[in-house]
Structure 1
Amino acid sequence: MGNSNIIPYEQYLLVNDISGVPSCASSALNSVCVSPVNDAFVPHDPIATELKIYKEQVAIYEQRAKFELTEREQRMDDQMRMLIQNRNKMEENLKKELHSFKLQLKSTMENNKIIEETVTTLKQEFKHE
C-alpha cells in the first residue's frame, strides 16, 4: 500500500496553511469557494482539496450566520426602541394626568377652605345676632 499521494495530516497543515479564514470569504466570491473545484488551490491530494473546500464553506456559513444574527439583533433592537418609546410616552401622559389631578385637588381644597371660612364667618354672625 505505498500510495505516494497520501501525506500525514500534520505535514499537510505545515505545507498548506489553512488555519485562517479563507481569502475568498466575501459574498462576491462565494461561488468560487462553494464550487467543488477550486482553481485557486491545487494541492497534491484530492482529499486535502475536499477538506479545504469544506473548511471554506464552513467559514462562509459562519460569516452568514453572524450576519443573520446581526439582523435579528437589529430587529430586536428596533422592537425594544419602539417599546421604550411607547412606555416613555405613556409615562409622560401619566405624569401630565397626575399633575392635572394635583391641580384639581389643590383647587378643590382651596375652595373647601373658602367655604369653611365662609361657614365659620356666618356662624359667628348668626351667634352675634
Structure 2
Amino acid sequence: MLLVHDLLDKLLRDKHRQPIGRVDGVALELRDGEPPRVTDVVLGGTVLASRLGGWAARLAAALHRRVRGGEPTPTRIAVAQLSRDGESWKVDDIDGRDTPALAWELWLRTHVVARAPLKGGGE
C-alpha cells in the first residue's frame, strides 16, 4: 500500500455509507528490527492542522477549547476495520454519529447553520 496515495486524505464512510470525514493522519507502531506498521487512521481537525505545522495545531486546539470546551479528541479507527469502497474507505461496524469525527460538524449544523437566515427563493 502506498500510504499517502491510498490512505491519507481519502474519504471514510461509516456502516450506513455516510461520510464521516477524511483520513487526516495515521498512527504507526514502531517495532525493533522490523519496519513500522500502520495501526490506526486518525480523523480530526487538529490532526489535519498539525500537518501544516505546530502553530496551526495550537490554533485549532485553542479554537476547539474556546468553542466546544475541553481538549479535542481525534477519532482513531483500527486499519483492520477498514475495507475499500471504490476511491474511499468504509468501516462496517461504526456509526459516524457515535464518534467524535462528526461532533464538530453536528455542532456547526446546530449552532450556526440552523440559525442562518434563509435567502429568498425568487419572485
Structure 1 and Structure 2 fold alike (TM over 0.5): no
Identify, as 1 or 2, the structure richer in strand.
2
TM range (shorter): under 0.3
- Relative contact order: is structure 1 or structure 2 higher (C-alpha 8 Å, sep ≥ 6)? 2
Identify, as 1 or 2, the structure richer in helix.
1
Normalized against structure 1, the TM-score is what?
Answer: 0.21
